[in-house]
Amino acid sequence: MKKMKRLVAVLLAGIMALAMLTACGGTAGTPVTRDEALEKNVAAWAVEWGKEAANLKLTADADLTAISAKCLPAGVKMHNAMIAMDKNAYVAAQKELLAELESAANGKKIAPVDIRIPNTMEVNKKNLVNVVNSSAANLNQILKNFGVTKPAKFGVTVTKQKDYTLILFMVSE
């Protein structure tokens, strides 16, 4: 249980750290194209990290990946609004993401975990793990807020935008 909390905390802290480190972003009309090759790598890294760092047996789940794909455009809008410091656009995009998630979840407990990596940083296992580890407290809070107490499955989508790469996980029990 402590390791799961650590995992959640690490992911959340990474999200917040990346949000603060990124100084620029794409425009609201930036297309959202998935990087499926990178998605496969990120999924493998997440499984490895779960075993090594958090003693979790995480498995990739196609249904959760489909939900992540539905929520990805709203996630990009959220991060673009955050970068632009547009609170109204951020709130609207957050509501859009949560509505997509609620519609697709069919009552299941699913937590959205978004990680933004600036394009000045290479997206690799080491950097992703560092970001996740630095945001563990926030990750634990996100999972708790969405009622995910024992993470076991996840789906992930990745998109490269002009100034950042967004990794959107959907985590479930």
**Is there a contact between 21 and 135 (Cβ–Cβ < 8 Å)?**
no
Point out which residues pair with 122 in neighbouring strands.
Answer: none
Confidence of residue 5 (pLDDT cuts 50, 70, 90): low
**Per-residue pLDDT tens over the stretch 90-127:** 999 999 999 999 999 988 999 999 999 999 999 999 99
Query: What's residue 23's pLDDT?
Result: 40
Confidence of residue 140 (pLDDT cuts 50, 70, 90): confident
- Map out the domains of the chain as residue ranges: 2-172
What are 130's two structure tokens? 């560092």
Q: Which amino acid is at 169?
A: F
What distances in angstroms separate CA 136 from CA 5, 11, 29, 76, 150, one per listed residue? 8, 5, 32, 22, 15
* Burial tier of 169 (Cβ tally within 10 Å: 0-12, 13-18, 19+): buried
